[in-house]
C-alpha cells in the first residue's frame, strides 16, 4: 500500500493544489500498483490463503478503484482494460460488508477509512446518462439496491470521519482536503 500513499501525496503535494494539477501523477507508479493489485489473488479463488480475508479483498479492490480514479487516461496497453467502476464498486461493497465493521476494523480504522473514501468517491452518480459506467446498469440489480450499494461506503466514510476526528483531527482534515483533489478528476 505504500505506492498508493505515494501517489496520493504526489497527486496533492500541498493543500493549496487545485484539482487540475492533481491529475499530473506518474503513469508508471499507477501502472505498478495496478499490475501488483491485479496479480494478487482474489477471494473468489477458492482454496487460496486469502479466500476468506475480506479485509484483504477490500484493500485490493480499493487500490484498483483508486488507480482507475486517479489515472482514468492511463494507456490500456500498460494495464489492459479497466473493469467498469460499477463492477469494481459492487465487488468493493460486497467485500466491505463481508468484514466486521462494527469496531471500524480496530487498529486498522485508517485503512477502512481509505477504502470507504475511495469506494464512496468512485460510486458517485454519473451526471451524463450516456455514460456506460452507471450503477443502474449492473446486471441483476434494481435501482433501490444499487442506490443502497452506492451510498453505503459514503455513509461508512462519514462514520469513520467522525470517529477518527476525535483522536486524529489534523490527519482527518488533511486526508479529506487531499482526497478532494484526488477524487475530483473522476468527473472530468
pLDDT surpasses 90 at 72: no
How do residues 38-66 score in pLDDT, each as one tens digit?
A: 777 777 777 777 778 889 899 989 988 88
Q: Is residue 9 part of a domain?
A: no
Q: Is residue 73 part of a domain?
A: yes
How do residues 7-46 score in pLDDT, each as one tens digit?
A: 444 443 433 333 334 444 555 676 777 777 777 777 777 7
Q: Is residue 4 part of a domain?
A: no
Q: Is the distance from CB of 15 to CB of 177 less than 8 angstroms? A: yes
Q: Is residue 90 part of a domain?
A: yes
Q: Which domain holds residue 26?
A: 15-187
Whole-prediction pTM: 0.71
Q: Is the distance from CB of 42 to CB of 72 less than 8 angstroms? A: no
Q: Is residue 7 part of a domain?
A: no
pLDDT surpasses 50 at 5: no
Which pLDDT value is given to residue 165? 93
Q: What value does the mean pLDDT of the chain take?
A: 73
pLDDT surpasses 50 at 148: yes
- Give the CA distances from residue 126 to residues 10, 19, 31, 98, 186, in Å, rounded to whole numbers and listed in that order: 26, 18, 25, 26, 10
Grid cell of 135 as nine digits: 450503477
Which pLDDT value is given to residue 21? 41
Average of per-residue pLDDT across 125-129: 56
Q: How many domains are contained in the chain?
A: 1
Q: Is residue 46 exposed (0-12), middle (13-18) or buried (19+ Cβ within 10 Å)?
A: exposed
Q: Is residue 84 part of a domain?
A: yes
Question: Taking each helix axis from N to C terminus, what angle separates 54-70 and 2-11, rounded to the nearest 10 degrees?
Answer: 30
Q: Is residue 158 part of a domain?
A: yes
Q: Is residue 6 part of a domain?
A: no
Amino acid at each position: 500500500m505504500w505506492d498508493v500513499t505515494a501517489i496520493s501525496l504526489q497527486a496533492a503535494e500541498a493543500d493549496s493544489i487545485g484539482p487540475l494539477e492533481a491529475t499530473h501523477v506518474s503513469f508508471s507508479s499507477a501502472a505498478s500498483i495496478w499490475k501488483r493489485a491485479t496479480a494478487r489473488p482474489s477471494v473468489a479463488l477458492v482454496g487460496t490463503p486469502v479466500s476468506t480475508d475480506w479485509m484483504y479483498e477490500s484493500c485490493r479492490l480499493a487500490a484498483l478503484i483508486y488507480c482507475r480514479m486517479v489515472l482514468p487516461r492511463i494507456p490500456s496497453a500498460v494495464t489492459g482494460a479497466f473493469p467498469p467502476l460499477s463492477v469494481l464498486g459492487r465487488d468493493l461493497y460486497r467485500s466491505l460488508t463481508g468484514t466486521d465493521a462494527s469496531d471500524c476494523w480496530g487498529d486498522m480504522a485508517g485503512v477502512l477509512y481509505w477504502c470507504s473514501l475511495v469506494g464512496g468517491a468512485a460510486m458517485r452518480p454519473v451526471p451524463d446518462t450516456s455514460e456506460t459506467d452507471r450503477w443502474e446498469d449492473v446486471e441483476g440489480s434494481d435501482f433501490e439496491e444499487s442506490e443502497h450499494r452506492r451510498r453505503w461506503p459514503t455513509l461508512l466514510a462519514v462514520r469513520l470521519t467522525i470517529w477518527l476526528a476525535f483522536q486524529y483531527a489534523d490527519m482527518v482534515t488533511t486526508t479529506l482536503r487531499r482526497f478532494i483533489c484526488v477524487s475530483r478528476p473522476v468527473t472530468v
